[in-house]
Amino acid sequence: MIFDRNGNKEVIALLGAGSMGTAIVRKIAAGRKVLLGDISEKTLEKVSKDFQYSGYDVETCVVNALEKESIEAFAQKAAGLGKVMYFVDTAGASPNQASPEHILRLDMVGTGYAVDAFGNVMAEGGAGLLISSQTGYMHRLPDETEQQILSAPTEKLMDIPYIKETAVSSGLAYMIAKRVNHLQAQRAAATTWKERRARINTISPGIIVTPLAYDEFSAAQENYQKMIDASAAMRTGTSEEIAEAGVFLLGEHAGFVTGTDLLIDGGVIAAIRTGRYKLNG
């Protein structure tokens, strides 16, 4: 049976087929072509079946988000399917999953490669979304370092002295990488993505319950509980709540929004800045 005879569909590319990214894509996927990219063939098979059984038009691509060539091939495959109107990047590793170097190479450099690659294929009027983290607000970078990040080619980010000297633990590497994501979106919004008349933003989620998040909860349960209790919401968030915000930033009602970050953390950062919660406390 042919479920959809429409051609020339708009393309949605998702890098990192986890629960948060798929929740966003599901909300905008009807009538469009979805390209799922992930390093795990098993994950791609499972998620693509879930999409297909829900009536969506989906294809998959194995992508190593650490490798520039692999990400560029993913972007080119997306462009070969039609007008790339949406790009969502959720690929990354959490502090309890990887070494500092791996986190920087995946969450920082890999994300930069994705921003660069899709900056070459986005259609006019398209929109991109990077999933960062509330931790991007937890470690302030010197102004000089931020300027170096904004001007450095993606492949040179690992050579920036402050990053080399400071990202000595997985936690610090993660905080730095997520702040760099904000800056990567700012630079792209003003340069390469602007040239294609496309927008790009970031979302910084707080404590969101996902399957992968349970690794973090198990490793630092007490600290997470204190953070939840100190927040204004006094609860964790859900992928669906992030998806609602993602749909807004990707959609027409956010046509004047680009190069910015939306913090969705239930008030954790507010608690930190007012002294109601102390990091590592």
How, if at all, do strands 84-89 and 57-62 pair? unpaired
Partners of 39 in the β-ladder: none
- ∠ CA 175-178-184, rounded to 5°: 140
- Selecting among 56, 113, 137, 174, the annotated active-site residue is 174
Is 53 designated active site?
A: no
For tokens 């630079």, what's the residue?
Answer: 187
Q: Is 174 a catalytic residue?
A: yes
User: Pick the catalytic residue: 42, 178, 194, 214?
Assistant: 178
CA gap 103, 170 in Å, rounded: 7
H-run or E-run covering 53: helix 41-53
- Cβ–Cβ under 8 Å, residues 58 and 37: no
Contacts of 2 (CB under 8 A, 6+ apart): none
- Write out the catalytic residue numbers: 174, 178
